[in-house]
Amino acid sequence: MNIALLSHEWLVLLLGLGLLLADLWLPPAARRKLGYVAALGVAAILLYSILFVRLPAGGVEYAFGRMYILDSLALFFKRFFLLAALAVLLMSVEFAAEIQSGLTEYYALTLFALAGMLFACSANDFTLLFVSLELITISFYILTSFQRARTLSLEAGVKYLIIGALSTSFTVFGIALVYGTSGKLNFQDLAAVAPQLIGNKLFLFGLLWVMVGLGFKIAAFPFQIWAPDVYQGAPSPTTAFLAIGSKAAGFALVLRVLFTAVPAITAQWSHLLIVISAVTILYGNLCALPQRNVKRLLGYSSIAHAGYMLLGVAALSAAGQSAILYYLSGYLFTVLAAFTVICLVMRHAEGEDISRLAGLNQRSPLLAAAMALAMVSLAGVPPMAGFFGKFLLFKAALAQGATQHGYYWLVGIAILGVVISLYYYFGVIRAIYWPGNAPDPSPIPVSRPILLSIYACVAGMFFLGLYPNPVVTLTSKAASALQAETAAIHATATLPKAPRAAWTRSLLGPASAAPSRP
Amino acid sequence: MNPDFLAWIILFLPLVAAGLITLYFLPQRKVSAGLSTGAVIIGFVLSVIFVSWAGWQPAIRESAATWLAVGPLHVAFGLRFDPLSLLMILVVTGVASAIHVYSWGYMHEDPGFSRFFACLSLFTFSMLGIVLANNFIELFIFWELVGVSSYLLISFWHERPSAADAGKKAFLANRLGDFGFLLGILIVWSSLGSLNFGVLQDRLSAHAGALGSLATIAGLLIFCGAMGKSAQFPLHVWLPDAMEGPTPVSALIHAATMVAAGVYMLCRVSFLLDASALEVIGWVGGFTALLSAVIAVQQDDIKRILAYSTLSQLGYMMMAVGLGGDSQAMFHLSTHAFFKALLFLGSGSVILALHHEQNIWKMGGLRRQMPVTFWTFLAATFALSGVPPFSGFYSKDSIFAQATARHSYGLLVLGLAVAVLTAFYMFRLVFVVFLGSSRSPACDHAQESPPVVLWPLRLLAVFSIIGGYIGIEQVYEKQFGAAGAGHPLWQQLLAPFREAPIGAVLGILAAVLGFAGAYKLYSNVAKDPLPDKLGALSRAMANRFYFDELYQATVIRLHDALASIADWIDRWIIDGFCVGLARGGTDLTGRALRLLQTGNLQTYAFLFALGAALVLYLVLGK
Amino acid sequence: MSVAFFIIALLTLLSAVAAMTLRNLIHCALALAFTFAGLAAAYLQLGAQFVGFVQLLVYVGAVAILIVFAVLLTRGREPATQGIFSPKWPVGAAVALGVFGTLAGLLLSSRVLHHEAAAIAQAPVRQIGEQLMTHYIVPLEVLGVLLTAALIGAVILAMHERESDSPPPSKT
């Protein structure tokens, strides 16, 4: 039991609670600055993580009866989430004027969602998976409907709540079925018994419903339906955090479940994964075409990007998993840059129509350039990060083409998706640079921290696009953690079992369905 | 300490300067110029330090960083240090430094001053990248970057339609060559499995026939790239038009560096070229040399004369490559870089003094008003015409010697003819512009250019004079084998007469012949006497043998026809049918999908559950 | 399968149907509470004591009361005047039947049914508590954070409700 292992999570939670307490004594005027405190805190934790957190020689450490895992994958995601939260918090400070009250709570809830993500990427057990997922989701329900004065925000909150609750019920039902049929909750224990359960339809049923819940998180078809409405309605920093944090957490769990818990079964699902990936790409890109609202457009585009990343899942290889991590890294900088610009340009405007970007080049060349570069990167044009991510994903899928020709079709469809997406991404760029009369020609003030954040994002996009090797090394190391753990299971089928009394089985009866959420 | 980091600094300094200028300093003219010039001068100083530190080792060294390693795919970004690249970085940074300083004076009035320096820095970066690249991909990337930056510089005065067109023309001609180049690279990659020059050379020396039947094709395709960049026939048409760019650009890009990149690249990969490819390269070079020398005789625009002279000299270098004389080609390239840059800068000085007058028949007698420009220009003319002891004599002579040694007398005669013509048109230029009497009032009021313009001229003049016997050739010989022992200076002065007396004597004879012809015809004349004597031939020469018209009538006409067919297909078949269908389809899908995206929560929940059922069915329903 | 099970199952189902069809929402809520109680009885009969009591305490004791409160606090006091079935009810019925059919089919085809029934072990609450505080401590803590977040959210949203009556604060 090594509490120090959980240092990231404790520190973030302490920071969040500390903010709530500080709010009690601070005058209302000073509360906006608390966002900087939160951002500084997150930056400090990130720094601590990079400087002091080291994995042991084996590369993996467990805590609490192997319920919690710290390996290179978890560490990669933890730093990823911290970085994302840092930028989102800075963005929130800029957005503060739009939030009438409860500003400190907004920061604190962002930190709680962050804590949920930190837990999620270390989940090695369905119990922890479920509660961390719920912590993320519940925090986001509130973050989404934070602008009570805006009907859109409220509507988005309600939609997210209901569809989220529905997906949770699927997840918990699925977990119950998995547990009922296998008697295991721990991923490694499950991996040891899963090969015997390949023919058990009830077990597969349970797994699939767990995946439904995760599919909701990453907004994959056919569980993507909420994304555009919620992206559009939520406050911009929340949308950014949803697009990056929540999605990445979903992918972290998808990778863990598919490749650590049930690799034997995943290997048989290539067909399903190919279909879902292809349809998600097409759906996202086709629907984005007619959109005029930038945030809604990015909502659809985020569906398409989930589809691209599923390509890496479908590839069922270490290269594919590593490519997902690389793609996510590029996506992090790109989406943060885009939303930071949207947040700054549109904070006083109702309705984020593309036409509001007109003349941005005159108002703030820096923001215009950042937005244009982000769009170029999202479209996957070299030399930006998005190009390299897609390259790695496609390469991983093509490498599997020999085993199944579906992969060739999948890559073909993905390329088609890229071509379609060029149209709407460049529509945004055209809006920025087309000499038109700006609706509001005044220059846009950019504060110093936000300036730093934008520079960092642009630098990140360029770095990942121009010099991929350091990050490729990092991601393939992180992805190899998945493989190593799987290999360890196959090598020693008899793992030391976690103490679990027989009574746990009797709680629910061998196969009875668990009560779903009220 | 490993000195290799210096090379990385040299390479990236100009890029940093270009980035800083573009992002921050566009309104501050002095800062931009300072940054850009500083970067390249520091680069030159560092190059000198680096070379004296690392030495001219014939051993090949590399400094590489892994750019990407995914599974078996391993791409490195590396720098290659051998005498070839080391001397070239000295030449590039040296000439570029002089031209940066000169531009400070020349472009002073221009509103796009900062932009100009940003482009110059970008160009310098790309050119250094080509020189230092250690593999084909990297070379190709920088190759294209050079193309882009030269496009930016040629059409620098983009408000002039002619400049914009010239930029486009240069870019397209280059792209045409690059297409072949890329195909050649792909052939090499697919048959040899590597793109690193060192590895390629090892593999080829291990198995001489590793490329098999593709050897000639690969060689010629790679030559295509050089043909575009070094403006060899039939892709030569872009270079004269490129004179629309500012004169420092003409000096830097279209005399000293960019056009030399093709020759440099061929020398870099000369181990890939087989005998038949070399044969073709040699004759293409020789033909280009002759053709453009003939055209140059009847041009009236001072910069165009120099442009055709450049083409002709590049033809010499190609000829040398074709004769297997890589070190001779590089030797001529280096000396040419100095004296041709000097000629361009000198012409720029004249143009500046005459308020952008470029027609030589409106000049005359400028020797008195512009003594420094005149004397430096004259030095360069001597060098170009191959008069000893100016540098051009030595490099040109080494090419003649190579031709003699190879018993390639056809090319030798071609080369000598070109030498006669070269001396003829260069002295024609000198006689008309600097000597005789003034032909326009502007000449009488011309004033010598400011010192910031003159100092680069003086510096380059020194190198144009002594470049032939300071050991440049010996450095290249270290690279390409057959290293001669170092000789004392006075021996090098006389080396041509000792080693290849026939070539040397013939070369001097050719220069004298050209000079005599020019003196007879152009000493103190009011207008060009040649058109009357030659008639139709002269018109053809003045009109560049109607190549542009020929291309207009054939290639471009064909291209237009193809374009209109493509347009028809695009409009009716693709747009009308396919796009219509696709648009209809997309539209329909969009509509259908919008029906789903009702915004109604119950519908969403229903669809969600339906999706879950669908997934279940896909996996379990079989 | 005892007689008692059938009686309990029948009563549970009947009350579930009643919860759907009755016109007065209060009656519906009471019927729903009865359904919860029936489920609890079914659990107890299967020997799952803990789940049975939790079901009784949480659902019958808390959730049902919450629902009644919600109904009383909103407009639900008067019986509905128009039809209470949405015109799309066949769709809903189809989905419900589909889910039931799928689950039933899977259960029947699963190997689980053919397993021998495990010996029913006792699960004293003490042991559950111990497990929660040792093995499951991390999820428990996360749940604590989750409830905190939910609580803050509820307060925030409610607080806004009051503020929205007053004129909106001027934007700066």
Average pLDDT of B297-307? 84
Q: Which residues of C touch A350 (CB under 8 A)?
A: none
Tens digit of pLDDT for each residue in B95-109? 888 888 888 877 777
In a domain, A154, yes or no: yes
Could C127 and A148 be called an inter-chain contact, meaning their C-beta atoms sit closer than 8 Å?
no
Give the residue on A whose Cα is nearest the Cα of C162: A148
Contact with chain C for residue B563, Cβ under 8 A = no
Average pLDDT of B316-343? 86
Helices (runs of H) and strands (runs of E) counted in chain C = 7, 0
Range with top average pLDDT, A297-301, A468-472, B600-604: A297-301
Could B615 and A395 be called an inter-chain contact, meaning their C-beta atoms sit closer than 8 Å?
no
Q: What is the pLDDT of residue A497?
A: 41
Q: How close C93 gets to chain B, by Cα (Å)? A: 12
In a domain, A131, yes or no: yes
Binned at pLDDT 50, 70 and 90, residue B243 comes out as: confident
Rounded Cα distance between A136 and A239, Å, is 14
Contact with chain C for residue A506, Cβ under 8 A = yes
Q: Which amino acid is at B480?
A: F
Range with top average pLDDT, A16-20, B186-190, B349-353: A16-20
Could C91 and B609 be called an inter-chain contact, meaning their C-beta atoms sit closer than 8 Å?
no
Helices (runs of H) and strands (runs of E) counted in chain B = 29, 2
- Neighbouring chains of A at 3+ CB pairs under 8 Å are B, C
Give the residue on A whose Cα is nearest the Cα of C164: A149
Q: What is the pLDDT of residue C116?
A: 57
In a domain, A179, yes or no: yes
CB distance A89 to A110 below 8 Å: yes
Other C-beta atoms within 10 Å of A149: how many?
14
Tens digit of pLDDT for each residue in B565-585? 777 776 676 666 666 666 666
In a domain, A353, yes or no: yes
Contact with chain B for residue C107, Cβ under 8 A = no
Helices A318-345, A247-256: crossing angle, 10 deg rounding = 170
Q: What is the pLDDT of residue B579?
A: 62
Tens digit of pLDDT for each residue in A47-99? 999 998 888 777 788 888 888 999 999 999 999 999 999 999 999 988 888 77
In a domain, A515, yes or no: no
Could B616 and C98 be called an inter-chain contact, meaning their C-beta atoms sit closer than 8 Å?
no
In sequence order, what are the residues at sequence separation of 6 or more whose Cβ sits closer than 8 angstroms to the Cβ of residue A233?
A: A144, A150, A152, A153, A154, A155, A156, A157, A159
Q: How close B596 gets to chain C, by Cα (Å)? A: 16
Give the residue on C whose Cα is nearest the Cα of B621: C102
CB distance B226 to B266 below 8 Å: yes
Tens digit of pLDDT for each residue in A312-344? 999 988 889 999 999 999 999 999 999 999 988
CB distance B457 to B371 below 8 Å: no
Q: Return the minimum-mean-pLDDT range out of A184-188, A375-379, B519-523.
A: B519-523
CB distance B166 to B241 below 8 Å: yes
Distances (CA, A) of C82 to C23, C32, C78: 10, 22, 12
Average pLDDT of A209-227? 91
Tens digit of pLDDT for each residue in A238-276? 999 999 999 999 999 999 999 988 888 888 888 899 999
Could A131 and C142 be called an inter-chain contact, meaning their C-beta atoms sit closer than 8 Å?
yes
> What percent of chain B clears pLDDT 70, i.e. is strictly above it?
85
Tally of domains in chain A: 1
* Structure-model confidence comparison of residues B363 and A283, the more confident one: A283
Contact with chain C for residue A15, Cβ under 8 A = no
* Structure-model confidence comparison of residues B207 and A464, the more confident one: A464
CB–CB contacts below 8 A, A to B: 93
- Neighbouring chains of C at 3+ CB pairs under 8 Å are A, B
Contact with chain C for residue B615, Cβ under 8 A = no
Q: Return the minimum-mean-pLDDT range out of A370-379, A476-485, B403-412, B583-592.
A: B583-592
- Of the residues C100, C107, C108, C152, the best mutation for testing chain A's interface (the one with the most A CB atoms within 10 Å of its CB) is C152
Q: What is the CA radius of gyration of chain A?
A: 22
Interface ipTM: 0.82
Number of residues in chain B: 622
Backbone angles phi, psi at B565, to 5 degrees: -65, -45
Could A469 and B619 be called an inter-chain contact, meaning their C-beta atoms sit closer than 8 Å?
no
Question: Which of these, A358, A368, A365, lies nearest to A436 by C-alpha position?
Answer: A358
Q: 0.90 cut: is pTM over it?
A: no
Domain that holds residue A479: 3-507
Contact with chain C for residue B67, Cβ under 8 A = no
Binned at pLDDT 50, 70 and 90, residue A508 comes out as: very low
Give the residue on B whose Cα is nearest the Cα of C96: B609
Nearest-by-Cβ selection for A506 from C47, C136, C153: C47
Could B613 and C98 be called an inter-chain contact, meaning their C-beta atoms sit closer than 8 Å?
yes
**Burial of residue B505 (number of CB atoms within 10 Å: 0-12, 13-18, 19+):** middle
Q: What is the pLDDT of residue B1?
A: 53
Name the helix (H) or strand (E) containing B62: strand B61-70
Could A290 and B70 be called an inter-chain contact, meaning their C-beta atoms sit closer than 8 Å?
no
Q: How close B605 gets to chain C, by Cα (Å)? A: 11
Rounded Cα distance between C40 and C142, Å, is 28
- Of the residues C138, C141, C160, C170, the best mutation for testing chain A's interface (the one with the most A CB atoms within 10 Å of its CB) is C138
Average pLDDT, chain A: 85
Average pLDDT, chain B: 80
Could B613 and C106 be called an inter-chain contact, meaning their C-beta atoms sit closer than 8 Å?
no
Contact with chain B for residue C102, Cβ under 8 A = yes
Question: Which of these, A153, A145, A83, A49, lies nearest to A336 by C-alpha position?
Answer: A83
Rounded Cα distance between B94 and A21, Å, is 65
**Is residue B303 helix, strand or coil?**
helix
B144-159: buried (b, 16+ CB within 10 Å) or exposed (e) per residue? bbbbebbbbbbbbbee
In a domain, A142, yes or no: yes
Could B606 and C102 be called an inter-chain contact, meaning their C-beta atoms sit closer than 8 Å?
no
In a domain, A513, yes or no: no
Tens digit of pLDDT for each residue in B374-414? 888 888 888 888 887 788 888 888 888 888 888 878 888 88
Q: How close A208 gets to chain B, by Cα (Å)? A: 7
User: What is the DSSP-derived secondary structure letter of residue B254?
Assistant: I
In a domain, A514, yes or no: no
Could C127 and A499 be called an inter-chain contact, meaning their C-beta atoms sit closer than 8 Å?
no
Q: What is the pLDDT of residue A502?
A: 40
- Neighbouring chains of B at 3+ CB pairs under 8 Å are A, C
Tens digit of pLDDT for each residue in B48-72? 888 887 776 655 677 777 777 766 6
For residue A509, is pLDDT > 60?
Answer: no
For residue B45, is pLDDT > 80?
Answer: yes
For residue B346, is pLDDT > 80?
Answer: yes
Q: How close C102 gets to chain B, by Cα (Å)? A: 9
Tokens standing for A293? 């609202």
Could A109 and C152 be called an inter-chain contact, meaning their C-beta atoms sit closer than 8 Å?
yes
Binned at pLDDT 50, 70 and 90, residue A15 comes out as: very high
For residue B184, is pLDDT > 50?
Answer: yes
> What percent of chain A clears pLDDT 90, i.e. is strictly above it?
45
Rounded Cα distance between B115 and A456, Å, is 25
Beta strand A60-63 with B73-81: parallel, antiparallel or unpaired?
unpaired
**Is residue B69 helix, strand or coil?**
strand
Rounded Cα distance between B341 and B329, Å, is 17
Q: Return the minimum-mean-pLDDT range out of A17-26, B550-559, C24-33, C43-52.
A: B550-559
- In tens digits, chain C (172 residues) has pLDDT values of 588 889 999 999 999 999 888 878 888 888 999 999 999 998 888 877 788 888 888 888 888 888 887 777 666 556 566 666 777 778 888 888 988 888 888 778 766 666 655 555 566 667 778 888 888 888 888 888 888 888 888 777 766 554 444 444 443 3
Nearest-by-Cβ selection for C95 from B609, B616, B620: B609
Distances (CA, A) of A201 to A189, A511, B150, B610, C118: 19, 13, 66, 19, 21
Q: What is the pLDDT of residue B603?
A: 81
Beta strand A68-71 with A60-63: parallel, antiparallel or unpaired?
antiparallel
